[in-house]
Structure 1
Amino acid sequence: MNWADFTSAAPGLAKTVEERFGAFRHHVLATLRRDGSPRTTGLEVRFLRGELWLGMMPGSLKALDLRRDPRFALQANPGPDSAMGGGDVRISGRAVEVVDTALKAAYVEEVEPPQPFHLFRTELTEVVRTYVEDDTYLVVEVWRPGAPVRTLRRT
């Protein structure tokens, strides 16, 4: 499922997630190294035309990781002093490299990234938001394809 599918399935959560990612420019991407260990790196993301896009410098280790194993986790920047206004949000899924020159050219027209670059669109497998409600409850909202948003509350 792409970003548009998620937005249709869970519009409220999708709006909150986009706002959290929109609050800051840089976020944290986790990929898998060749030996299976995790790699975390900074990344800018874009929500355009119903897709969540990941753009990367040519030959970057994160791009090479995703070419080899497309699984990723993406966490929104928590903000200054870890304020996390709007909660902590994370997206997991698979990254698919864009090889279609027309699609990549359309992205370049809108975003104007430094050239050359790797471009990946995402297929979502999970979106999670965690926040504190009324200074009492830890609330976790979880969405997975084909299921409604589950909300868990703990004191």
Structure 2
Amino acid sequence: MSKRDLALDLFRSYKTGFIKKSKPVQERTNTPGDPTLISEVMSDLINQRDWHLGIAEGTLFSSWKEIVGSSIASHTTPLSLLDGALLIQCSSTAWATQLTAVGQDLLNTVQSSTPGAGVTSLSFIGPQAPSWKRGLRTIKNERGPRDTYG
């Protein structure tokens, strides 16, 4: 038997006798130095600081156009949310009157799109009237521009 045959026999016997055992796959455990996803960090921060209500309010104000639609959003602006009452300023008194009439439907839409905000009622106001008070010296109970030309 030559060296080559001996080596070939040894190789064949080794190859048939060797069965590779697969190791079970272990899940990697996170160590304190490992990076984490920013979504996990933000979720933990929101839960720790109990910011759920603030996040829902911010979503309501920032997504106003998507919630109520572009036609209503172009004539309205949400101003504040205090104790469940959402104050909405309208571009005209006519818009305030019309939205008051359909207020319950609008309230249902707002509640379904941002349930965490806790909106329980809607209040509509018209546009701000101009102020005739200018400067330090003004007359109390003045009647607007009529008193300035007299």
TM-score, normalised to structure 2's length? 0.31
Where is the strand percentage greater, Structure 1 or Structure 2? 1
Where is the helix percentage greater, Structure 1 or Structure 2? 2
TM-score, normalised to structure 1's length? 0.30
